[in-house]
Each structure stands twice: as C-alpha cells, then as structure tokens.
Amino acid sequence: MSGRKKTLLKVIILGDSGVGKTSLMQQFVNNKFSHQYKATIGADFLTKEISIDGNKQVTLQIWDTAGQERFQSLGVAFYRGADCCVLCYDVTNEKSLNNLTSWKDEFLVQSNVSNPQDFPFIIIGNKIDVDEAKKIPSLQKKLQNITNNQLGGLNYPVFETSAKDGINVEAAFEVIAKMALQQEELNDANGNDVSDDYNDAINIHLESESSGCAC
Amino acid sequence: MDQKLVVNGGTGEPAVFKYRLLVPEEETGSAGKISTIASYRANLYIGTTTGQLLHYHHFEDAAEYMLISNLQLSDSSRVITKILILPNTERALVLIGSTASVYSLPELSPCHIGKLKDINDLSMLAYSAISNDSRSQKSVAVNDKIVAFTSSKIRIIQIDKDQIKLLKDINYSGAVSGISTASRMSSNYSNLVLVANPSNYDIIDLKMTRKIPLFDYTGNRTNVPPHMVSYDAMDKEGAEEYLLTIKNDENTSLAMFINSLGDVTRGTLTWIGEGYPVGGIVVRWPYVFGVFASSDHSNKLIVSSLESLQVLNVVSLEEIFYGRKSTKQVVDEIETELKGEETDNKQKEVKDIAQEENLTQQDIDKDNLLQQENQQEQESGEDTEQHRQEQPFSSDSINLTISEQSEIFVEKPSTESAQLLETIKDINISTVSDISVENQTVDGLLSKVNLMNGSRSSSIAKHFDIGNIILHDDSKVWILYSESVLIQLQDSFIFAMQEGTIKSFSEELEGIVDTYEGEIHQYILYMLVLSLIEIEDEQKILKYVLRLKNGHLVVDPLFIIYMLSDFKEIDTSHFDFSVYSGIREIMEQCKPSSSRRLLLLKYFDSVYPDLVQTNSQTQDIIRRAYYASFKSNEESIFFFQGKDKMNWSTFSHINSSIIDLWYSKGFIKTILQAYRSLKAADEEKEKEISEKLCTLVIQLLSQEKGDSDISTESLVADTLADIKANPPDPSLYTKYLIEILKVDKIRGFEFMKKNNKQQYRSVHKTIMDEISETYASESDFSLLKIEFLESTLRENKFKASLQDELAFEMAKLMSSSEFLVEEYRINFDILVQTYKIENSLTDSKWPKISWVDFLHLNSKSSECKDFVDIYLKVYELLLVSTDLKKSTPILSELISNDELFSYYKFVNPDDTTVRSLLDYSDFESAEFVAVHRKLPFPKFHFYIENDSRRFDIVAPSRIRDDLFTILKYYLKEITSDPLCIFAIRHFISSFGNSFFTPSEILSYLPDHIPIAYLMDYLTEVIIDLQAANREVQLRKSISKADATFTKSVYKNFANSFENGT
C-alpha cells in the first residue's frame, strides 16, 4: 500500500454498534471513559506511541469505525493498509459475539489483504465490569465454538476487557501492537505494500487512442 | 460594504472572514438565474440558466466589478452549467447543456475550433510545473489539457489555441463529475482522476487504465450531488488531500478524506442533523465551508474544522445576506408569539408548514432518484442536453428543484412572517481563481501618521485581500475571503490588551512575524515590539528592534525613542516622524509609556553610530535622544567626548538644538565644553560660537543661569585661562572681564594687570569706563583704571583728552572717601606742615624747594605715599593741561572744596596766586609765578620728559608788582624774624638788579639791614654801574675820535676839492 513509515502501525477496531470500540480506544489512548453513549458516524482515529519489548518504538494508528451496518460501505477506505484487526464484542450481547465472523469476513473482503489466512486478528470481549448475570451464558464455550468453527479454527488471541475500568486494555493493545508489527515486517519481507499501490485496482478497458478531434 | 463572519476557532483563535456583495441583483436579474461562475484575472464570468454569459470586469480605478458584456450563447432554455478557464491558451470552455464551446479570454469571442459534445462535466487535468524529482525537468505548458466526463468515457483532451485534440479515452460508465488529482507528481500532468458516477466515487489511474473503487456517497441511492474537493493539508506538510461528501441519511451527511492513493487521511467529518451540503463544499484550510439546505429550507453555511473534525459555526445565510431571519427562527418566534390566546391553533399551522416542507423534500428526493435511474438507462445521444437538465447531479438542477419546493406561504402574515412570502433562494458556494478585493481598512492601517503634527499620508500601494470563495443565489454574487491578517491581528491586539492576555499574544506574534514579508512583516514587527514593551520584556525588545534588512534597521529608531523615552524632552518639531496609523491606534491603547532609560541607552549603544550613519535625520534625533536620556553633566560629557566627538566639528543646526536641550536640562557644564570644542573646531562660525560662549559665561557669572556642577571660582579660572589661551575679540574680551570683575574683582584686576599687553590697554580702558560707575568708590578699581589710563596716555603720546581723563580719574580717587582716608589726610597735613617749617624764610638756605618737589622727595618716607604719588601726578597733568587750555575745569568739582587740594588752584595763576603761594611757604614757586605767570615744572616728573610749556612774555610792570609783593612779604617777615634777612638777600640778588633800580631797592629796604647782606647785590650793581660808566666814556672817546677823523677827512676833502677845482 502506501509508503508509510515502518513504525506506523494501522489497527482497525471492528464490531457491532455499542460494543465499546470507541471506549476501548479512548481508554487506551487517553485513559478516559464516558458513560454517555454516542454512536460513531464514519470513522476516526487516534494515535499513540508505545514501546514494544522495551526497545522498539512504534506508533499505533487506531481506527475506530462505525459499527452500524450502513457505514460498512465505507469500510474499504478505512481497512486498506491495516496491520491488525481487532474484533470486538460485548460480553453481555450474544449477537455481537455471533457477528464477529461477519466482521472478519467483511474486513478481509474489503481490505484485500495479501495474506488473509495469516492476517493478525485479535478478539476483545468488552464490558466485563458488568454483573455476571448479564453476561452471555456459557460465554467461553460459545466463544470457543465460534473461533473453532466460524473463524477458521485459528487461535486468535482473546482478551476480556473493561474499557470502563481499564482492565486488560493495555495488555490487549500491547499484543495488538506486537501482532501488527509482525504483520508489517512480514509485508516488508514479502515486498508487499510498496510494489503496488493499488492492489485492489480493477483494470478497465482502454479505448483505442484517437488523434482526432473529439468534436 | 464588507461584513464579518467570525468563525469559532475551536481550540484556537477565532478566524475572521469577510464577505461582500460582488455583483448586485439588479445587474443579473434579467438574465435568468445564476448557474455557474468563473473568474480570470480581473474578469468575472457568470453563466445563467437562460444561456446568457455575463462578463464583468474590475477596472483598477473602480471599486466594484462592472458589467461589460452580456452574451446570449444559446436559446433561453439551455443552462450554462460550467465555465472552465484555460489559462495557458487564454480560452474558456463554456458548457451549455452537454455541449462545450471554446471562447477566447478575456473578451469571450467565439473560437471556431470545434465543440465538445456529450459532456457531463469538465475539469482541468492537474498540472504541475514543479517536479518532486529534482533530476527531472518539467516543461512549461503551452496548451491546456482537460478531462471531460461523459456518460461512457473519461476523455483526456488537449486544447490548443487553434485546435482541439483528443489524447486518451478511458471507458467509464456514468461519470457525472470529477477532478484531476495529484498535481504533485513526478510527471507534468496528473495520472489520476477522482470521478463520481451516480452512486460511487472512484479513482481512475489514467496511466495504468484501472479503477480504484472508493465508496458510495448517495446514502442508499438518493439523489445528491457528489462533492470532491482537493486541498493541501497544512498539518501534513501541504500534502494534497481530497474531501468527498457522503450522504448518510436524510438528516446526516459526512465527509471522508483521502489522498491520491485512496488512503484515508483523517477521520470523518460529520454533519449530524444538517442534511447534505447541496449548495456545495469549499475548503479553505483548516476550514470546510458547506452550504446546506436544511429541512426548513433555509440556507446554512456550516463551517467545520479539518483539524478537530468538529462543526464550528452554523450561519444562516438568509440572515447575513438578506438581513432576514431563517425559517426556523421565524417559526420559533411565531411559536413564542402564539403562546397564550391562540397558541394551539397557530402552532399547529406552523408545524403543518414545516411538516409539509419535509414531506416535499422527501418526495422530491424520491423523484430525483427515479430521474437518475431513468437517466442511467438512457443512451447518450442527441437529447443529452435535455438529460443533463434532468440529472440530479447538476448543480443547477438541484437548485431548481429546491427552488420549486421552497416557496413558503403563511396564511396569516405578521411583520415577521411576511418575509416568508418571499421565495427562499438557493445559495451555492464554489471556488474560482483568485479575486482581489480592495481593502481600504488595511490601506488605512498602513497609511502613515506623523506623530508630531498629526498629518497623514496614504499608503503608497493599495492593499487587496485575495479571495476565491464565491457564494451566489439566483441573482447575486458574494465573495467570501479571509479577513486580512493585519486587521485580525489589530483586533486581537486590542482584545489582548483589554483581556490582559498580551503576553500570549506577543508569543503568537513572535511565531508569525517572519512568515510575512514587506510592509505586512514590518507592521507585525512593530506590533510585536509594542507588545514586548507592554510586557516589559527588554531582552526581546532589543532582539527585535535591532533587526536589520539590507543593513538597515527595520524598526524606525524614532519609533523606539518615542516609545522608550520621555519624548517631551525631545524637540522634534523639525523631524518628520511617522508611523503606521494602525500602530498609532495601538500605541494609544498601550499604557502610558514610562521612560526606560537604561533600555534606551542599550539600544543606542547598539545602533549608534554605525547603524544610523546613512540617515542623518535618524542620526540626529538619536543623538538628541541620547542626550535627552542623560541625567547628568558627567554622562553627557562622557558621550560628547567619546562616541559623539566626531559630530562636534561644526556648529550645525542639530548641535545647536542639542545645546538648547542641554539648556533645558540645566547641563551648563556640558554646554561650556561643547562651545569650547566648537570654537576651536569650526572656524567659520568661531565668532558666533564665541559670542554664545561669552553670553553663557556671563549668564553664569551673573547668576542668571546656574549649574551646580560649576563653581564660580572654577568658571572664572577656566574662563580667564581660555581668554588667555584663545584671546577673543576686544568686544567679547571686554564683556568677559567686566563680568569677571563683578564676581571676582581680585582675579579680574590681577588678570588685567598681567595681561597688560598693548593690544588690550585700550580695551582695559573701555572696561574701566564700563565699570567705573559700579566701582566709583572702590580704590582698587580706580588705581587699576589709573594704571591703564597712564599706559594709554603714554601710548597715545600724551593726548590731551587722556590727560584730562587720567587727571580726573586720579582726582576722583583722591577725593574718594575710600582712598582718602583720615590717615592720609593727617599724614599729608604733616607733610604740609613739615614743608612750611623746612621751607621757612628763617632758613638761610636758598633757593627754597617747591612744594611739589618737596612732596616728591618726601613721599617715600611718608605714610601716604600712594596719595602723594597721585597728588603729584595730578599736579603734573594739570600743569600740562592748563598750559594747553588755560584752565583746570576738570578738578573744580572734585577738589575745589577740599583744602587738601588747595595747591592745585595755583596751577592756573591769577593775581592772588603769588600771595597764596607765599602763604603756602612755596617761595620758590611764588617767585617763579611772579616772573613767568606759571608754576614751575617739577623736577621729578611722571609723564612729561621735558618742560615744553610755552612761556608768554609777562609785562615787566606785572612782574615788578608781583616781585614787589614777594619782597614786601619777605620784608614783613623780617620784622618777626631777623633770620629772614636771607630771603631779602636772595630776593635782591635774584631780582634786584634785573627788575629794579638800585635806588628803588634801596628805598624799599629798611635802614637797619646790614650792608653785608647786600654785598652781592651792591657789588653787582656797582659793577654794572662802572660798566655803564665805562661804556659812556668809551662812547664819548669814540665819538670824539670819530669827530676828529671826520674833521680831518673833511679838511682833506676840502683841500682836495679846492686844489682840484
């Protein structure tokens, strides 16, 4: 894709509306949490510099996308060039868990990544601060089922977080950063992302050139 | 004329934009509705819905654009949808319906080189003459290349002055609009086109002939016009980015931002509840201006930030452009109004209207969608123009649609709601090439005002704001442009002063001052300096006021002096000192300037003299200011003798004014130094300087002026030394000495005595005359004057008038009580008495000494020598003078009544003089007067070497009378003292034989006089008698011999005669 600096890692957060994508980003970047819910329209991003393994400085560009379906047509623009995708669900909302597969597929289709099988995904179950009673029954089992059957059996890292209380948020993004860096390095090794700016381009037919007037 | 639009700055300062009506309604009203606008240099081209093309021109000497032509390019049913300016070939492509024709610029003459048909949109092919690759050379374009968007192709066309050439066709279905992107590329022309079809945005790679699909913008295939706007992202080093608008739903839309590679560059900008920007989008970094027609059919200008991605301002265009309230406002107000009696009914009516409007909008959207679908199915062909009018993406179509459904009627019109009867006009926003808008406010700020006399001079160049954002409704055109940075900063400065935030504002000015050039830079630099003065940051003040451009100071030193000094001290009436009017306004807002003397001196030390050498006026005023800043003579003299020494070689106007300044500050010591230096250096004006110096010294000596640093003693000493070293002309010399004598007569007299050169003697005499009144009673002064008179007298060969004057002066001295003290009187009297005794007739010694000679001989041993000397001098002068004038009038008043000077009366003898002299015991003189009728000349004289007096012949009888008087006096005395016999002897011996007969003498003498005392006389008489007798005898003998001889001769002769006959 574009010739960004190697240390800039683009991370996309996907998930159903209301699972807490914006809150996770705000908690990680700004250590802030708002109780007021405001649906994201379009997308926005925040950046944060972190150190990986104590010696590698990277800048995470974290894109918070709209969870509402009507914005999914815009995804192609946001997903392009991502180094890691965070799939979010709400531990109290089973539907959001079930939709993880859709989000993954949507991402892979629209982002047109060169290595869909190896592309790094991470799963975050947010809102663990709520009462146990409100959580999805047999969550772990269902989650395992989804990862095994619907997400291709790949062993994606799973974090359960609370954006509200800041639980596991840092840890999750640390792993995200490592995975994104690996992906970036892999792309570099394969010569991707720089050899062809438009790997999702569609060839179109060229009319035979005319030297005449267009009148 | 110009109105302001203040854009909320979000996290930063508010930004101020201005808008003004560029073309009024009355000029376009008859030409249909405005459909498109373009500009080229000073020309403005307006296309209308009725096929007319209006050409406006902005003449340099006119304030407004003027309509110079109105071309009807087609029948009135066809809309001019685009005017594409081709700057290289100076042509314009005018798109009417779906056909584009070529016209020459600027006059719009038709160019018959062909037409472009089946065109939906036109765009310039992005071109850059600057290569990112320094190794490649780009050529300068001599033609124009455009991108034409048709329903089936994207066509790259080259327009030359005389031909149209198709360069490339790329199949693309349904292109309705597009822009050429990525002008900053390695090749001259862009390879990328951003294109919109009826539903999606795509990037077309012209070189690789491939498409990069972006996203849908229609919000589920509703009819909205695509907006693709390129801009330079200033937060990313000017990288080119593109704003693409997307409709989300009926109430919400958003904008995405991508670069030419299709990467999203920033988050989305959302307009929630504002609808879609049907009136257009314009980016002016960091702001996005969108014109929205919201559900209440009022036009809103929504300003958003590209940095914060937040909506900053929502502005009702109805309100700012037409001065009327928006529909929503009216509805709200009516609602308020209706509360009460008819609340329910009226609310219902209004809401009905609003609901009806919303429904209408939705219906129309649906209709447009159908039209769009139909249009997509249609093939391009002869009826393309008709299709174009039906396309929902054409701006004029949208406008028309909205116009049709935006007529609002209120059944019960009130004053407020009556406005709703008017048709709500659609307003569009777009950009054109830069338009210059004269900014008289900036001209005013940059005009110069003379701080001394208040006179103003206009700014040399007119200043223009540049704008390229155009808003137009059906018939009017406005331009929206950034408020001049100068005016913004001006307002901000005043605001910061009022709010006490001048420190942060100053930092802001520091940050931007070097981003401007020319007059604006200079103006901001002045502002910065003012702000730094206000916060008293002296280090930075010096840093900025010492800035140079081409070796010259940018900030006028006079401005610094004005701000940092107590300017009252500086007489600037002859200086032309002007500052920008705007700066003057700020200065008036600043707190009263307190003199920052040390800072000013530091500044002067830095700039003087090297940095102001080329500007004599500046140099002069700095020198003045320098001196004005000094607080003592020491400081002034140090500078005067050091850094400023070179400027004191002439008595120039500025030096004169500096001296005046010193006068006002009381730095007299400095002035004295300056005058002395100038006197030595400026030969041409030496006299003038000398006079001024003299005047000053005199003023100091007379205490008319004063300086605590100057003592009278030192002043006198310095002045005398100066006079001696550099002798002034006699006139000044006189003035000096007279004043010095007044304050220090001892030194003055001493100086005059020592400086008794010939050339000064007459001067000294003049001085004496001048001060004689003052010192009439002062013997020292008189003695001095006498001394100089004597010298003068000698030099003038004893001129008679000088003799009189000297005599008079001495007589005056002698008669003065200060000089003629009692001691003198007594001693003199002793001398008189001594004389009478020693010169008594009883003394046998003869001849006697005259009184005058006696005085001279005895003066040295006397206690009144000074007096006696003068006495004798006067006597000598009187003798000479009387001999000439036969009178002694000069002394009459002074000494006539004093017995002490009675002797002087004898100088002009009369009949009583002999007798008086005898009484005075001056027998010598009495006898001399008796014979000569004049007093004898002293044997010891002061002035006259020889007695040159003329002695008239005195009648013997007169002499005899006087001598007889003397004899009688002697004879009388002899009766009282026999010793006086010697006087008789002397008299008879001296005069007896000469003036008397022996018989007379003998008859006068008493019988008892011993004959022995007459021996000499008698001997002489006898001898004389014998001699006389002998003479008689001889005469007789001779006579006899002669007779005998004669007789003999006669006989001989007779005999001879007889014999002969």
* Residue at A214 is within a domain: no
For the record, the structure tokens of B182 come out as 């990525």
**Residue of A42, A71, A204 with shortest CB distance to B209:** A204
Q: Which chain A residue has its CA at the smallest distance from B209's CA?
A: A204
Task: Please name which of B154, B161, B219, B159 lies closest in space to residue B180, comparing C-alpha atoms.
Answer: B154
Contact B211 A204 (CB under 8 A): yes
Phi, psi dihedral angles at B311 (to 5 degrees): -75, 130
- Cβ-based neighbours of B552, under 8 Å, separated by 6 or more: B611, B614
Spatial distance between the Cα atoms of B781 and B775, rounded to a whole number of angstroms = 6
* HEC letters along B939-969: CCCCCCCCCCCCCCCCCHHHHHHHHHHHHHH
**CB-based burial label for B760 (10 Å; 0-12, 13-18, 19+):** buried
The ipTM assigned to this model is 0.84
- Collect all residues of chain B within an 8 Å Cβ-Cβ radius of residue A45: 266-267
Domain ranges across chain B: 3-342+426-438, 484-629, 644-708, 711-794, 798-954, 964-1061
Residue at A85 is within a domain = yes
Of B209, B214, B216, the CB nearest to A203: B209
For A47, name the nearest residue in chain B, comparing CA atoms only: B266
Q: Do B155 and A43 touch (CB under 8 A)?
A: no
Out of A41, A202, A214, name the one closest to residue B268 (CB).
A41
pLDDT value, residue B26: 63
Q: Least CB-CB distance to B263: which of A1, A43, A210?
A: A1
Q: Give the CATH number of domain B3-342+426-438.
A: 2.130.10.10
| Average pLDDT per consecutive 10 residues, chain B (1061 residues; last block may be shorter) | 70 75 72 88 90 88 84 83 92 92 90 90 77 51 87 91 88 90 60 89 84 83 87 83 89 88 87 89 92 77 90 85 66 60 48 42 40 39 34 28 28 41 70 84 85 75 84 89 86 88 92 88 92 89 89 85 70 70 86 71 84 78 82 90 88 87 88 88 84 82 80 83 80 81 79 76 73 65 74 71 78 79 86 87 85 88 84 84 64 68 84 88 89 87 78 84 88 80 85 84 82 82 87 90 90 82 57
Cβ-nearest to B169 among A42, A80, A207: A207
Contact B268 A76 (CB under 8 A): no
Is the Cβ pair A209, B270 closer than 8 Å?
A: no
**Residue B245 with chain A: CB contacts under 8 Å:** none
Collapsing DSSP to helix, strand or coil, A60 comes out as strand
Segments of chain A with pLDDT less than 70:
1-6, 150-154, 191-215
Residue B271's closest chain A neighbor by CA?
A41
Minimal Cα–Cα distance from B117 to chain A, Å?
Answer: 6
Nearest to B264 among A78, A205, A213 (CB): A78
Nearest by CB to B171, which of A63, A200, A204? A204
- Nearest-neighbour CA in chain B from A38: distance (Å): 12
The contact set of A with B (CB < 8 A) is 1-2, 41-45, 63, 70-71, 73-74, 76-78, 80-81, 197-198, 200-215
What does DSSP say about strands B153-159 and B144-150: parallel, antiparallel, or unpaired? antiparallel
* Residue to test with chain A: of B201, B212, B269, most A Cβ within 10 A: B212
Alpha-carbon distance B280 to nearest alpha carbon in chain A (angstroms): 20
- Asked whether the beta carbons of residue B172 and residue A204 sit closer than 8 angstroms, the reply is yes
Residue B270 and residue A41: Cβ atoms within 8 Å?
yes
**Residues B494, B500, B502, B507, Cα dihedral to 10°:** -130
Find tokens 């945005």 and name the residue: B201
Place of tokens 């949490």: A33
A46 CA to chain B: closest CA distance, Å?
9
Closest Cα in chain A, distance from residue B267 (Å): 4
The one-letter amino acid at B601: L
Residue A208 sits at φ, ψ, to 5 deg, of -60, 135
The DSSP bridge partners found for residue B16 are B6
Q: Which residues of A touch B213 (CB under 8 A)?
A: 76, 200, 202
pLDDT (0 to 100) of residue B197: 92
Residue A3 falls within a domain, yes or no? Answer: no
The C-alpha of B256 sits at a distance from chain A's nearest C-alpha, in angstroms, of 8
Long-range contacts of B382-388 (CB under 8 A, 24+ apart): B384/B97, B384/B98, B384/B117, B384/B118, B384/B151, B385/B78, B385/B96, B385/B97, B385/B98, B385/B99, B386/B97, B387/B98, B388/B79, B388/B81, B388/B97, B388/B98, B388/B120
Give the pLDDT confidence score for residue A169 in this predicted structure: 94
**How many domains does chain A fold into?**
1
Task: Establish if A146 belongs to a structural domain.
Answer: yes
- Across B693-728, b (16+ Cβ under 10 Å) vs e yields bbebbbebbeeebebebbeeeebbeebbebbeeeeb
Task: Check CB contact under 8 Å for B165 and A211.
Answer: yes
- How far apart, in Å, do the first and last CA atoms of chain B sit? 167
CB contact under 8 A, A213 and B264: no
Beta-carbon count within 10 A of B832 CB = 19
Beta-carbon separation of B214 and A214 below 8 A: no
Q: Which of A41, A71, A80, A200 to mutate to test the interface with B (most CBs of B within 10 A)?
A: A41
Residues of chain A neighbouring B268 (CB-CB closer than 8 A): 41-44, 74
Is the residue at A100 inside a domain? yes
Does any domain span residue A207? Answer: no
CA-CA distances (angstroms) from residue B127 to A199, A209, B130, B179, B211?
A: 26, 21, 9, 12, 21
Residue A170 to chain B, least CA–CA distance (Å): 23
Min Cα separation B369/chain A (Å): 19
In a domain, A23, yes or no: yes
Calculate the CA A66 to chain-centre distance: 12
**Residue span of the structural domain in which A178 resides:** 8-190
Residue for token pair 């000029």: B27
CB contact under 8 A, A77 and B258: yes
CB pairs under 8 A between A and B: 122
Domain of residue A104, CATH code = 3.40.50.300
CB–CB of B261 and A213 under 8 A?
Answer: no
Determine, yes or no, domain membership for A109: yes
